[in-house]
Structure 1
Amino acid sequence: MTAGVALAGVMAHCGGSPVGAMEFLVGAIASAPAAPEPYVALAELWQDRRSELQEGLEGNGSLSAVLAQAYFLFLDGDVDDAVMALGSVTGVRPDVAWGAAPWFGDARFLGAVSAEALAEACLRALDYGHDLDTAEMRERFTPWFHAIDVVSERSPLPEWLAAMSRLPRACGRYELAFALCDRADAVDRVMWTEVARANTWRAMGDLDQTAAAFEQALTLDATNWSLYLDLADVRASQGDFAAAVALVEQGLQHEPHEASLRAAGAAYRTRLSGSSDNLRALIALAPELANTSYRDLLIDYACAGPGLPRRLVTKARLISED
């Protein structure tokens, strides 16, 4: 870290390359995210060479550029864009404790960042699907959990608290995810909070509680087709394919052309009755399902239906292998 700061000074003052100096400083931050020295040097660089940095950073989407821009935005008082930029960097490289940056725990940041921006940053941190449910990741994300706690208490807006809860849930911090839902409920009962609660129970493997939460969500938004599909999927996981079919049919009353509903209905009817026609319908709908993992799950359910022709089952299985 010390060497990186020193090299940045050389690049900035002798080499004449403020962008090169910035890259050395970002390297120093990556090696010691909580150390204040690289941020002090970055602040000086931003003050002294702002126009050159702005020109060099324009259109630059590299990790180094986005991380530096997050700090520059904080220095300029744009804390919402700052946290979203940091969320993007964290999503790419969660193995570095970027949230340990001194500015991220600063009262000026925590007192001003909006719940909406922090929620968006949390979602960006999850964008690349990294496994965050480890002790090491929970340690790295401790500053994020603190920010979530502070901002959610200051601005308990249910929709954004529900979105924030996805990050602690992904990290295995289930108690914090539930606490955010409870905090949101104290303000207003909304569908999104129950969905967040359901997904937390599902991550914990408790399908009964998952189903109960989705049922509560339906009492709050009875016309939402996706809730019927969510609950149908839970019932299928529990082996109750008759209930799954009934729920899909209810969802189709609200969105009759939705491909995922139609595919799920075909899969669950096939599993229940061994209907070749429904398996053919699923095969025809499969290309419309963007989520290939979900598509393959439906195919697995359907192909386990009783008495299906082997050739038709093979045709369905080939879709999963494609």
Structure 2
Amino acid sequence: MAGGLGIARVLAHCGGSPVAAVHYLAGAIASAPENPEPYTALAELWRDRRPELAEVVQGADAPRTVLARSYISFLEGDMDDAALAIGSVTGVQPDTAWAEAPWFGDERFLGAVSADALAEAAMRTMDYGHGLDSDSMRERFRPWFHAIDVVAARRPLPDALARMAILLRACGLTEESFALCRRADSVERIMLTEVVRAGTWRKLGDLEQTAAAFERALALDPANWSLHLDLADVRAEQGDFTAAVRLTDEGLRREPAELTLRAAGAAYRARLTGSPAALGELIELAPKLPNGSYRGLLIDHACAGPALPADLVAAARSILDT
């Protein structure tokens, strides 16, 4: 860290490249995000060479440059952009405790960042699907949990709280996720909160509670075809293919052309009734599904239907090999 910081200071004050200076400063921050020295040097660089540095950080997407932008946005009082930028960097590399940055816990940041921006930043930390449910990750994300507590108390917007609760769930803090959902409910009951709650119950392996949450979500937004599909999938997982068919049919009445809904409906009809026509429809639709694991799940369900022709079952199974 000290070497990178020294090089950055030379580049900053001896006519060197501001791009290279930012690179080395960001490297120093990455080696010890909690150390205030690189931030002090970056603040000096911003003060002395603002026009050049602005060109470097505006619209940049390289992780180190986005990291520098997060602190510069803080210096400029743009706390929402600061949050979004550090969320993006965290999503790329959550193994580094980026939020240990002194500014992230500063009262100026926590008192001004909007609930929506912090929620979006929290979602960005999960962009690349890294596993966050471990003691080491929970320790790295501790500043995020504190920020969520502060902002949720200051500005309890239900949609934002629900999205923040997704991060808590991803980190294995299921009780805390439920608590944030209850806080959102105390302001206003919305569909998203129930969907988040359903996902948390699913993570805990309680399918009946998962289904109950999706039922409440549907009561709040009955025209939402995606909720019909979500609940149908849960009922299929429980072995209730009668309910699964009914739910996909209801969804199709609202969105008859939706590919995934049509495929699920065909799979569940084939499983329930042994309909060759339904399995044939799934064979036609399945290769177009974007999610391979879901495609395989539907085919497995459908091929377990009663007395289906062996050649159709073989044709469906062959899709899994392509």
Asked if 1:125 is matched to 2:129, the reply is no
Give the residue type in structure 2 aligned to 1:259. Answer: L
Report the CA distance between 1:145 and its aligned residue: 1.0
Task: Note the C-alpha offset of 1:313.
Answer: 2.2
Q: Name 1:203's counterpart in structure 2.
A: 203
| 2: CA distance, partners of 1:152 / 1:160 | 8
Question: Once the two structures are superposed, what CA deviation does each residue of 1:231-273 show, in whole Å capped at 9, x if it has no partner?
Answer: 1111111111111111111222222222221111101111122
1:165-180 alignment runs, 5 A limit: 165-180=165-180
Corresponding position of 1:145: 145
What is residue 277 of structure 2 aligned with on the other side?
277
* Residue 15 (structure 1) shift: 5.9
* Counterpart residue number, 1:230: 230
SS of the residue 2:199 aligns to: helix
**SS of the residue 2:320 aligns to:** helix
Q: 1:280, CA displacement in angstroms?
A: 1.2
Residue by residue over 1:52-94, the C-alpha shift from the partner in whole angstroms, topping out at 9 and shown as x without a partner, is: 2123345532111111011111111111111111111111111
Aligned-residue identity in percent: 65
In the alignment, what sits opposite 2:247?
Answer: 247
Displacement of 1:309 in angstroms is 2.8
Corresponding residue SS for 1:90? helix
Distance, in Å, in 1 between the alignment partners of 2:320 and 2:75 is: 50
Amino acid at match of 2:243: A
Deviation of the 1:304 alpha carbon? 2.0
Matched residue pairs, number? 322
Distance 2:41 2:268 in 1: 60
Whether the 8 Å contact between 2:133 and 2:172 is mirrored in structure 1 is: yes
The one-letter code matched in structure 2 to 1:239 is: G
Residue 264 (1) aligns with residue 264 (2): yes
- Alignment partner of 1:188 is 2:150: no
1:162-193: per-residue Cα shift (whole Å, max 9, x none)? Answer: 11111111111111211110001111111111
Q: Residue in 2 aligned with 1:12? A: 12
Q: CA deviation at 1:308?
A: 2.4
**Cα deviation per residue 1:86-136 (whole Å; 9 max; x = unaligned)?**
111111111111111111111111111111111111111111111111111
Which one-letter code corresponds to 1:156 in the other structure? P
TM-score scaled by length of structure 1: 0.96
Specify the alignment match of 2:221 in structure 1: 221
Q: Does 1:66 align with 2:66?
A: yes
Q: Deviations over 1:129-159 (max 9, x none)?
A: 1111111111111111111111111111111
- Separation (CA, whole Å) in 1 of partners of 2:58 and 2:15: 21
Q: In structure 2, how many angstroms separate the alpha carbons of the residues matched to 1:318 and 1:110?
A: 54
Instruction: Map 1:18-57 to 2 at 5 A.
Output: 18-57=18-57
In structure 2, C-alpha distance between the alignment counterparts of 1:75 and 1:166, rounded to whole Å: 29
TM-score by length of 2: 0.96
Instruction: Please list every run of 5 or more consecutive structure 1 residues that lacks an aligned counterpart in the other structure.
Output: none
Q: Secondary structure at the match of 1:186?
A: helix
Amino acid at match of 1:166: I
State the partner residue of 1:291. 291
Q: What per-residue deviation string (whole Å, max 9, x for no partner) do you get for residues 191-225 of structure 1? A: 11111111110111111110111111122122222
Separation in 2, partners of 1:106, 1:58: 24
